[in-house]
Structure 1
Amino acid sequence: MPPFNIKRAAMQLDDESRFVGSTIFEVEGHTGAYEITFLSKNGKDWDYSLHFADEPGPEEQFLLIDAQLEENEDLFDDLLDAAVEAGGF
C-alpha cells in the first residue's frame, strides 16, 4: 500500500445512537482523494463504504484501495481510528 495522508475525519452519534463517521484521505500516486464512511450500531462492528471524495478518478486506483481495505486490517483500523478520535469517542 502506498503511503496515505488523512485530510479530514469526523464521527458522531445519530438520532438512533448509531456511530456515523467518515475519513477523507489521499494516497500517494493517486489522482484524487477518497472518502470512507463508517456506520456501527454498537461501536464495535463496522460497515463501511468507499467512494471518491471529490471528482471521480481512475477505476483501477479505486479498486486497488477497495481491495486494500478488505485485505489490510491496519489500513482500515487507521482510517477508522482517525474518525473515532475526531469524534472524541
Structure 2
Amino acid sequence: MSEIISVITNDGRNIVGVLKGFDQATNIILDESHERVFSTKEGVQQHVLGLYIIRGDNIGVIGELDEVLDASLDFSKLRAHPLKPVVH
C-alpha cells in the first residue's frame, strides 16, 4: 500500500498522507501525513503530523488523492471556510 489519501474526520479536520495500513474497524495508519487547515483570510496552512493513526469511529470520509491535480494547486491562494464538526 502506498496510496496517498485524504481523510475528513468527524470533527472537521482534513488529513492527507500515505496509507500504510488499516483494520476491520477502519482504524487507519498514515505516514508522511499533514493536516490542511482552511481559512477565509489566508491560504491553506499545512501542519506536518508524520506517522499518524486515526480511529475508525472518527472518520467521516476517505478518498484517494489525485497526486497530479493536487500538486498543481496553489494552496497559498485558496480560501475556504473550515469544515464544521459532524453533529449526531
**TM-score tier (shorter):** 0.3 to 0.5
Q: 1 or 2, which has the higher helix percentage? A: 1
**Could you tell me the TM-score, scaled by structure 2's length?**
0.34
The one of the two structures with greater contact order (alpha-carbon pairs below 8 A, sep at least 6) is 2
